[in-house]
Amino acid sequence: MNIVITEKNLSCDTQAFSAIAIDLLDAGRTLRFTAKGGSMDPLIRDGDTLFLAPADPSRIKFGDVVFFVNGGGKPLIHRVIKTQKRGKDRWLLIRGDRANNVDGYFPPSEIFGRVIAVERVGQQIRADQPVYKFLGRLAAWRSRVFSASPRLFSLIYQLIKRIPSFKHYLS
């Protein structure tokens, strides 16, 4: 993992990254780092630069991409695909867009950050842009509904990818 601190790169293992990222986010700082892995493809790709802001637990919603640490201590950037009430509490079901399995339900208090932008090939894509939000919600629905029918989702994805306003995000 690489962390940029005043224009210098810092390399560290995943446990150190988790600790540093959580400390920075808890202090109210925005974090910039390079994504590793393909579990969020195509909206977030291996090598993209991600910008994380501290997560306000009350504002995390369906379709948001969040930073959390799973039960095994691994830091992950995955999408909220469902919210569920458990008594007075709200829990978030999280899964990578390309992951085979869900990460599980987490209380919002265990979510440390939220992706606010993705930088790819020198261009920044803000996560609050309507098209990106729409694609994020579509990815969340895909994780919930189309898991049983990946061919149907693939067909829908190929059609959406041809629409000019979506090409920027998916190509």
**Boundaries of domain holding 33:** 2-170
Residues in the chain: 171
* Residues 149, 143 contacting (CB under 8 angstroms): no
The structural domain count of the chain equals 1
The DSSP code sequence of 69-125 is E-TTS-EEEEEEEEEEEETTEEEEEEE-TT-SS--EEE-GGGEEEEEEEEEETTEEE
pLDDT tens for the chain, residues 1 to 171: 555 555 566 677 888 889 999 999 999 999 999 999 999 988 999 999 999 999 998 899 999 999 999 988 899 999 999 999 988 889 999 999 988 889 999 999 999 999 999 999 989 999 999 999 998 998 898 887 665 566 766 777 777 777 777 766 666
Q: What CATH number did the domain enclosing 53 receive? A: 2.10.109.10
Which pTM value belongs to this model?
Answer: 0.82
**Whole-Å CA distances, 99 to 24, 79, 85:** 27, 10, 24
